[in-house]
Structure 1
Amino acid sequence: MCIWQVEKAIKELENEGRKASAVLITSPTYHGICSNLEKISILCHSHNIPLIVDEAHGAHLGFHESLPHSALSQGVDISIQSTHKVLCSFTQSSMLHMSGKIVDSERISQCLQSLQTTSPNHLLLASLDATRAQISQHPKTIFNKPLELAMEAKALIKKIPGITVLDSCTFSDAAGIDPLRITVGVWKLGISGFEADRLLYKHGVISELQGARSMMFTVNLGTTRDDVVKLAAELKNLSQEHASIRVNDIQPFIGTVSNMILSPREAFFTSKTKVSLKESIGKVCGELICPFPPGIPLLVPGEVITAEALNYLVEVKNNGGFISGVVDSTLSTIVVCSL
């Protein structure tokens, strides 16, 4: 997210006589790309607007000089971290952090009490405390080894023909990129990230995230040098086996202006029926259809289904992608609202 995008959104609301209740940004992204939260914080606070950051993949940021700065250190008001994603707490454990005076901490506490269970899982809470203790023992050096391994892995992978590695030079507007995330492009080999992942999985190499053109790997506190060597070796084998193969690439979906006939709530309670893919064009979608990656809904309940959206879904599925939210995972039929 760039500061000019936030500024533009704030001004558009002001021109309509309205004010943003808050600004919500995801930083870092799944691939480790970080926004310049310090500048965005200053902008938001100049309008007395709180800045909330989904920092799910950034619980480790700030614990080494080579890592990007954490959200809180850049002046955001609320950051939410999935502590289990990079640190060592149990799955489903996370933390919410607050700073500054714009957000009412008592109000946040009341909201949490109305949403959370009165019977929390104490194993999850204990794992969060254990993770905090682990980091606090060596807060500035605990990531020395993972960072060394990540640098070594990238150096080895960059030497492999047909393989590319994402780096910070690609994003001029980004404040930085998490060096522990290794995004490997395989499109020059003529295969998708989904296909490459399936091939590597057979040899015990498992990627964190797959896409149409790439895969992403994560180096963490449990990664060893053997892991890095194996990753590089298997990617080299992949390169040699597919150097002359060419397949069609998935083209990015260019979104159009949404045509909402019903609100998602209205669509949820409306009677529905299943129709074939071809028959669904022009009808009102009755389910949340979300291709993964990127994990962003392409069609939501209440929205008119277009041929362009369906073609993209089919393309993603044919290349090994996963479509979440649909009742029929084969995409032979789609649930639509009966209007």
Structure 2
Amino acid sequence: PWHMQRCARFHHSFPSTAIEQGADLAVQSTHKVLSSLTQSSMLHMARGLVDADKVSQCLQLLQSSSPSYLLLSSLDAARAQLSENSKSFDEPVAMALETKDQLMVIPGLSVLDLSCFASDFPAIDPLRVTLSASDLHLSGYEADDILEEHQIVSELVGTQAVTFAVNLGTSRQDVQKLVQCAKHLSDKYMSANESRFSKHNYVRSPLDKFSVKLSPREAFFTKKRRVCIEDSLGEICGELICPYPPGIPVLIPGEVVTQDSLSYLINVRDQGMTISGAADGELNSIMVCNL
């Protein structure tokens, strides 16, 4: 995760930085975990590997000639905050690890850790707590809705899990409340769902079978009409439809709507997944090309 690159030099629990691992350039979204303002980030460059002047020329093509000094000063303030207190992340990391240990023993709940991966991962983000209630036959969206009723706000919701972020502003009271609400979730749904089968079919994104009739440019300039999503089978998609997470487009402009892609989109829509790119955020309809 990018935020691990931001924090790597400030706690021994984090892996070496992307630059230290051989990357030429590394983008850090400083605002996500540190204290800089939203939209502020940093671009780090390895010495001797990349032409600094070339990078500067590329940035000048993309950046405004009137930068926000509020954002720039907040980046400097975030840097100063960490440089003045080298132990800033000691407490957040300790709280996150303690919270994971407490959640792991709650019946019906599971927590993501290195043992969950088939391949050898060198490290896992210690400041992210990913919780699954699938053994309670609850999707990530259902679990998130229940926790939100108790003012527990997640960072990311998926079909099978909910991810929470621990950072410099997290208090011990915050993580204790998460554990208490997770226990309540377990107590309420363990007995209620003993005889209930999960109603969710976790289908994989249909990215292996696709057909393209128009280039994205051709599709962009082609006249379009709005159709009910259930009636879009065989039509040429006129917009980019991207469920999040994982943030990978299922349909792009010019691509034919197949049965696999249609079934997948209806499935994730009904589960409450966020859809970006589509004109209709509720995904009851989509834009298709007139041909």
Q: TM-score, normalised by structure 2?
A: 0.93
After superposition, the C-alpha distances for 1:301-338 in whole angstroms (9 at most, x for unaligned) are 11111111111111111112121221223333211111
Q: 1:298 aligns with which of 250, 259, 264?
A: 250
Q: Is the 8 A contact 2:4 2:125 kept in 1?
A: no
Q: 1:267 aligns with which of 201, 209, 219?
A: 219
Matches within 5 A, 1:222-261: 222-243=169-190, 244-245=192-193, 246=196, 247-249=198-200, 250-261=202-213
Shift of 1:56: 5.3
Give the aligned partner of residue 133 of structure 1: 80
Gaps of at least 5 residues in structure 1 are 1-27, 29-54
Distance 1:92 1:211 in 2: 24
Q: Which amino acid aligns with 2:279?
A: V
After superposition, the C-alpha distances for 1:179-236 in whole angstroms (9 at most, x for unaligned) are 1111001111111111111111111111111011110011101111111110000011
Q: Is the 8 A contact 2:206 2:250 kept in 1?
A: no
What is the identity percentage for the equivalent residue pairs of Structure 1 and Structure 2? 49
Shift of 1:117: 0.6
Q: 1:215 aligns with which of 156, 159, 162?
A: 162
Distance 1:260 1:157 in 2: 46
> What SS is found at the alignment partner of 1:61?
helix
Q: Is the 8 A contact 2:3 2:33 kept in 1?
A: no
Q: Is the 8 A contact 1:180 1:220 kept in 2?
A: yes
Matches within 5 A, 1:169-184: 169-171=115-117, 172-184=119-131
Over 3 Å off, 4+ runs: none
Distance 2:85 2:141 in 1: 38
Is 2:231 the counterpart of 1:285? no
> What SS is found at the alignment partner of 1:183?
strand
Q: 1:160 aligns with which of 102, 106, 113?
A: 106
Give the aligned partner of residue 94 of structure 2: 148
After superposition, the C-alpha distances for 1:216-258 in whole angstroms (9 at most, x for unaligned) are 0111011111111100000110111111324322322242233
CA-atom RMSD, angstroms?
1.5
> What SS is found at the alignment partner of 2:6?
coil
> What SS is found at the alignment partner of 2:261?
helix
Is 2:66 the counterpart of 1:119? yes
> What SS is found at the alignment partner of 1:273?
strand
Matches within 5 A, 1:287-326: 287-326=239-278
Distance 1:336 1:56 in 2: 38
Q: Is the 8 A contact 2:226 2:286 kept in 1?
A: yes
Instruction: Identify which range, 254-263 or 67-76, moves more after superposition.
Output: 254-263
Distance 1:81 1:311 in 2: 36
Shift of 1:121: 1.2
Q: TM-score, normalised by structure 1?
A: 0.81
Q: Which amino acid aligns with 2:106?
A: I
Give the aligned partner of residue 58 of structure 1: 5
After superposition, the C-alpha distances for 1:48-79 in whole angstroms (9 at most, x for unaligned) are xxxxxxx3563112321111221111121000
Give the aligned partner of residue 191 of structure 1: 138
After superposition, the C-alpha distances for 1:145-166 in whole angstroms (9 at most, x for unaligned) are 0111011101110111010000
Say how many residue pairs are matched. Answer: 285
Q: Is the 8 A contact 1:57 1:86 kept in 2?
A: no
Q: Is the 8 A contact 2:205 2:250 kept in 1?
A: no
Is 2:279 the counterpart of 1:327? yes
Gaps of at least 5 residues in structure 2 are none
